[in-house]
Structures are given as structure tokens and as C-alpha cells.
Amino acid sequence: MPAPSSPLKAVRGTRDLLPLETALWNRIEQTARSVFARYGFGEIRTPIFEATELFARGVGEETDIVSKEMYAWEDRARAQSEKAQSLTLRPEKTAGVVRAYIEHRLDESGMLQKLFYIGPQFRRERPQRGRYRQFWQIGAEVLGPAWSGADSALRDAEVLEMLATFLDELGVKGWKLEINSVGSSTDRPRYVAALREALEPVKARMCENCQRRADTNPLRVLDCKEPQDQATIEALPKIADFLDDASREHFAQVKAALDACGVAYTVNPRLVRGLDYYTRTTFEFTVADGRGLGTQNALLGGGRYDGLSEMLGGPKAPGIGFAIGEDRLILTLQAQAANAAEKKLDAFVAPIGVAQNAAALALAQELRRAGLSIEVGDGAFRLKKSFDAADKLARRMVILGEDEVSSGILTVKDFSAGEQTKVARGDLAEALRR
């Protein structure tokens, strides 16, 4: 008989989502569908795998994604009519959507295409909280021929305003929007050349990653988080000084439209993002919730990619898109819900014996009318059960037994201080408010 083997587990960086959790996933996806529909988006589903060349051309050979994170394999030909080819599990979706736009001649309608998607992506990254090898993105792309208005700053602002609405409707608290402009396809090379030149004399004292990127992809140096490199990076040339008049005007229009919609943002001149195809507006939404995401605090990112279609052999089709990290959205909502649960009720009123139930309800009524948040127990509970329930729900417990009712002196247990005190009924509301 073969030796019993240990049970198999999900592959590193992948995981199962079980019913308790999938309820939240579904809520997020339903909210996305409902919000995006209101902005005129329709769903697109593209294959999970594509030709490796699509990502090499569309995302860029020098990006981390293409150079080290892709799940690619040589797919054998099964028939004479087939050719062996290199295939890749999609690491992102924009390249696939633009490929589909070109393949299905979506430009022919002359209309703006507003497409959204929900699905898994695959990157061989180092797994950690908020970073997986199979992860989910909810994203959207707005693209079309230039005469459809696809390059208008209005579209950038519309997408950002839609994202703000989506996060607000989901109840994500404390999100922040950072924006930047990385310029047109002519501004960017001038900036990259200036960056390369400025890095030459200083790169030797930077971290290993920066040294490599200074040669291969100098823009990525701006992403470096190493504390000792920050002063050097701050002193490097800024992209804003390299924008031509048209890009500068475009960025000003994006900001003006966001101001008109009351969407708050900060301009982060270092926000260039990792992928090669970005032009002009780039953006990122983060949450300052250390418990939820730690260092992986980017909830979503995106930007404009006016030259991508042409890079993939298609017609000119300016566009803008974003991808939300759904896994990170889940972690954020879970952490924020836990924080909210910590904001406990002011008190739990625990009657001792069923005979005190009516008095307990009357006391709760009095305290609630005084503006306090109160839960009432049940005199049928044993004291231990009341204690446990009170500890979960409230900051304090008010014990109401026969003695307390007759004397008007109540026993108040404060869970965080671990103290028990006697309080006169008339002073109770004030004591609970403290």
C-alpha cells in the first residue's frame, strides 16, 4: 500500500474564499456593478490567458511584472495546423481589454467605449498580507478614437469621481486620492533622460534596486521606499517641470473638474506607477489603515494610456483606466468593521433576576433618552453570561438587582479600567458619559 500522504494545500500565494467571506466579496462586486452602470459602463470578459507577447509589448519588458512575475509557459502544438507559442496567465487586464478593443474593431462605432471587468490576475510576487499570487481586480477602461472625446480631461475626472462614489457607497473610510501627470509620450522620454542624467552621479550611494533601475527603468527609482534613499530622490528633477503646454493644460483641467465635483486629492510628483504605458494622468487611492493593509496600502491605481493601442498594433485610441485590488478592499473593510465594533455601546444594563427586567428596561429608556447608547440584558441570564455579553458589547455594565432598585445606588463595572464603583441613579448618565 502507498504510504499515507499529507493532505494537499492550496498553492502558496493562492487561497480559498469561504462563505462568510464571500458574502462581503459579493457585496463589493454588486456595488461596483451598480455604481459603474450609473456611469454608462458595460462588462467585458476576456480570457484568463493570453499570448505572452501581449504583456511584453503592452506592459513593458523592463517592468517587474513582465521581467519576473509572470506565469508563462510554452504551449505545445497539438495539431500540425497549430504553432507552439508562449502563453501567460494575465498579470493585469488593461492590455487584454485593449487587445479586445482592437480585435473587435470597437473603434468603428466612433463611440467612447466604457468597459469594466471583475476577475483574477496572476503575479509571482512574494506573498504577504494584501499581496497574493492570484488576486482579484475590479477595473474599468474608457477608450475610443480621439474624436469620441476619449482623451478629454473630463474623462479622467469622471473616472476619479466614480471611484470616490464607489468607495463612499461601500463605506470605505479615510481614503486618500493622489494624482500626478507623467506627461505625453514626448514629455516622458525627455524626463526619463533628465532623470537618468541626474541619477548617474548619485546612484552609487543608493540601494541595489535603485542602482539597477537607474539603468533599466529610471522612473521606477521614484517608487523606492528605502529611507536612506529618500533625500536623494527628493532632489531629483520633477516630472512637472517637463510637461509640455498641452499636458500641463490637461492636468489643470483634471484638477479643476475634481474641484468642481468636490473630490479631494493631493498632487504627488513621485507617482509615476510601474507600467510603461501610462501617459498624462496617473493616480492611486490609499487608505491610512495600518491594521488592514500595513505597507500594502494602495487600494487601487490607474492612469491614462494614450499610446497603448498603437503599441499593440491598433488604431489611435486614447484611454484611461484603473484596477482596484479587491483583496485589499476586503481587508480594509474587515479592519474598519472591526474598528467600528470596538466603538462599543456606552453601557449594558444587566438585570439580576427576571423580576428586575421591567426596571432594567425603564433604566435603559432613561439613559437612552439622555443620549447614551445602551443594550439591556435579561434577568434570566446567569451573571456570568451577562458579564460576557456586556464585555463584548459595551464599555461598562450597570448591575440592577433588587438591592440596587430599592436603594437607588447602582453598581457600575468599567471593563477597560477593571473597576467596580457605586453610583447614585441621578448621577448615572453623567458617570457613563465620562
Residues that bind ligand AMP (CB under 6 A): 92, 123, 125, 130-132, 135, 137, 298-301, 323, 325, 327-328
CB of 182 to ligand AMP, least distance (A): 14
Instruction: Sort 190 into a burial class: Cβ within 10 Å, 0-12 / 13-18 / 19+.
Output: middle
- Residue in this structure with the C-alpha cell 434577568, named with its chain if needed: 379
HSE (CB half, 13 Å, CA atoms) of 99?
Answer: 20
Measure the CA–CA gap between 429 and 434, rounded to whole angstroms: 9
- Residue in this structure with the C-alpha cell 548619485, named with its chain if needed: 202
Nearest CB to ligand AMP, comparing residues 148 and 332: 332
Q: Which residue is nearest to ligand AMP (CB)?
A: 325
Phi-psi category of residue 250: left, alpha or beta, with phi > 0 → left and psi -120 to 50 → alpha: alpha
CB of 288 to ligand AMP, least distance (A): 15
Nearest CB to ligand AMP, comparing residues 65 and 106: 65
CB of 357 to ligand AMP, least distance (A): 50
Nearest CB to ligand AMP, comparing residues 35 and 360: 35
CB of 422 to ligand AMP, least distance (A): 53
All three cell numbers of 333, joined, read: 473593510
Nearest CB to ligand AMP, comparing residues 159 and 399: 159
Nearest CB to ligand AMP, comparing residues 289 and 327: 327
CB of 270 to ligand AMP, least distance (A): 15
Nearest CB to ligand AMP, comparing residues 134 and 411: 134
Nearest Cα to Cα of residue 53 among 75, 82, 30: 75
